[in-house]
Amino acid sequence: MLVLTNPGRYVSGRGVVLDSQGPVLVSEPRSSVEFSNDTGVMIHCSAHGSPLPRIDWLMGDGSPVLPIPHIREMLVNGSMYFLPFGAESYRHDVHSAVYRCQASNSVGRVLGREITVKAVVRQKYEVQVRDAYVLVGNTGVLRCEIPSFAKDYVKVTSWVQDSIFNIFPTHESVEVHQVDMQ
């Protein structure tokens, strides 16, 4: 969206008359940005125009994004930097939110696309396999239970029996046919 407020000419600081141009986004981030809390992430946005546009960031609801010490910084080049953080510093309103880049000058403003930012908090977890009861000769299904916070980032690649035998499933469960008593 481009809003023109004052099209025409303006005088630069050196007294030169220049044609004015509304801001045009040159680069903006993908619509989805995921990052690890161990690494943080720099999100770039830039624009050109005359006079040179100012870059600001807005939340999904249109409110301005402000720096939060040790969590989120706004850089003079228009980038937004999410610093690495410990699991205890996770904030849903910051680390799982929608943002927009805005470029503005005296001629107008332009809004970038909505960007969904999601921080993935690295933490230890264990997968579980619950006992499955089945009648002899029938099919048994074993399910790999992954904690909900890790489920989107973990893929079951194989099942291991006695640290030797690998079974490669097509889903998160494995079917065992012709169950025998042991």
10 burial type by CB count under 10 A (0-12 exposed, 13-18 middle, 19+ buried): middle
pLDDT, averaged in runs of 10, over the chain (182 residues)? 52 66 96 97 97 97 97 96 95 97 97 97 83 82 79 77 70 55 55
CA dist 175 to 111, 144, 156, 162, 170, Å?
51, 12, 14, 17, 10
Residues 116 and 138 in one domain: no
Residues 58 and 107 in one domain: yes
The number of distinct structural domains making up the chain is: 2
Write down the pLDDT at residue 11. Answer: 58
Residues 147 and 96 in one domain: no
pTM of the model: 0.68
DSSP state of 61: T
The rounded distance, in Å, linking the Cα atoms of 17 and 162 is: 80
Write down the pLDDT at residue 169. Answer: 65
Of 6, 7, 1, residue with least CA distance to 101: 1
Residues 35 and 85 in one domain: yes
Whether residue 14 is contained in a domain is answered as no
Residues 80 and 169 in one domain: no
| Distant-in-sequence, close-in-space partners of 163: CB < 8 Å, separation ≥ 6 | none
Residues 108 and 164 in one domain: no
| Core vs surface per residue 130-141: b (16+ CB within 10 A) or e | eeeeeeeeeeee
Residues 41 and 109 in one domain: yes
Residues 95 and 143 in one domain: no
Query: Which range marks the domain in which residue 42 is found?
Result: 21-120
Write down the pLDDT at residue 48. Answer: 97
The secondary structure element, H or E, covering residue 94 is helix 92-95
